[in-house]
């Protein structure tokens, strides 16, 4: 597969992954660009041990880490304004659902970095356990155990917010 084909097929997914990790559209665009610059340099060394997407996510992950190292901080923010915007034409149920999703993303930001990564890759990006392990450089068992701990921690945070009245009367279900 050529660089152009990779870009056309995967750039939007890589952008969304990075956006979930940095929370800023402009930064996500810049880091997506940086990712594909690295891809262009590394494509000759691609061995085919992982799917193209898994390989691209591992590069995007390193680019994102480098960004946070330069900023000397690691954090996670909810989706940008473009994704958070909801049309006034939506029925009330869809508005509530959108609010719940945004609140859930907000709660994810308070998780430890490795919890955020595994939730984003497995539950939001939809990678398999094997693909997630390859992208993160972890064992399959570490992905499974970290995901389990991450979901428990997220559920606890959601329950705390529900008790405080922040999450729509317990309608949110973390699985």
Q: What pLDDT digit, counting tens, does each position of 13-62 carry?
A: 999 999 888 888 999 999 999 999 999 999 988 888 888 999 999 999 99
Same domain, yes or no: 149 and 100: yes
Number of domains composing the chain: 2
Same domain, yes or no: 94 and 61: no
Predicted confidence band of residue 81 (pLDDT cuts 50, 70, 90):
very low
135 vs 132: CA distance, rounded Å? 5
- Hey, what are 84's tokens? 């958070």
Which residues, 6+ apart, have CB-to-CB distance to 126 below 8 Å? none
**Residue 151 belongs to a domain:** yes
Residue whose structure tokens are 């262009």:
40
Residue whose structure tokens are 């890759």:
121
- Please say if the pLDDT value at position 91 is more than 60: no
User: Taking residues 127-150, what's their average pLDDT?
Assistant: 92
**At which of 40, 71, 102 does a domain end?**
71
User: Taking residues 131-144, what's their average pLDDT?
Assistant: 92
User: Taking residues 98-116, what's their average pLDDT?
Assistant: 79
**Residue 77 belongs to a domain:** no
17 vs 61: CA distance, rounded Å? 9
Distances (CA, A) of 7 to 2, 11, 48, 107: 9, 5, 17, 31
pTM exceeding 0.75: no
Task: Give residue 12's domain range.
Answer: 3-71
Q: How many helices (H) and strands (E) does the chain have?
A: 8, 0
Distances (CA, A) of 69 to 63, 72, 74: 10, 5, 8
Long-range own/partner contacts, residues 97-101 (CB < 8 A, 24 or more apart): 99/168, 100/167, 100/168, 100/171, 100/172
76 vs 116: CA distance, rounded Å? 8
CATH code assigned at 32: 1.10.1740.10
């Amino acid at each position: 597969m050529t660089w152009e084909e990779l870009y056309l097929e995967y750039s939007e997914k890589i952008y969304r992954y990075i956006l979930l990790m940095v929370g800023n559209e402009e930064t996500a665009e810049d880091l997506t660009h940086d990712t594909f610059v690295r891809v262009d340099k590394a494509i000759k060394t691609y061995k085919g041990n992982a799917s193209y997407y898994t390989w691209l996510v591992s590069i995007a992950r390193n680019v994102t880490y480098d960004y946070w190292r330069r900023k000397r901080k690691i954090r996670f923010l909810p989706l940008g304004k473009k994704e958070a915007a909801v049309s006034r034409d939506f029925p009330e149920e869809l508005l509530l659902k959108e609010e719940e999703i945004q609140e859930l993303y907000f709660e994810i930001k308070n998780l430890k970095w490795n919890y955020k990564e595994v939730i984003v890759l497995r539950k939001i990006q939809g990678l398999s356990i094997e693909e997630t392990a390859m992208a993160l450089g972890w064992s399959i068992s570490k992905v499974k155990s970290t995901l389990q701990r991450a979901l428990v921690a997220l559920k606890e945070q959601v329950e705390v917010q529900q008790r405080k009245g922040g999450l729509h009367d317990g309608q949110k279900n973390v699985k």
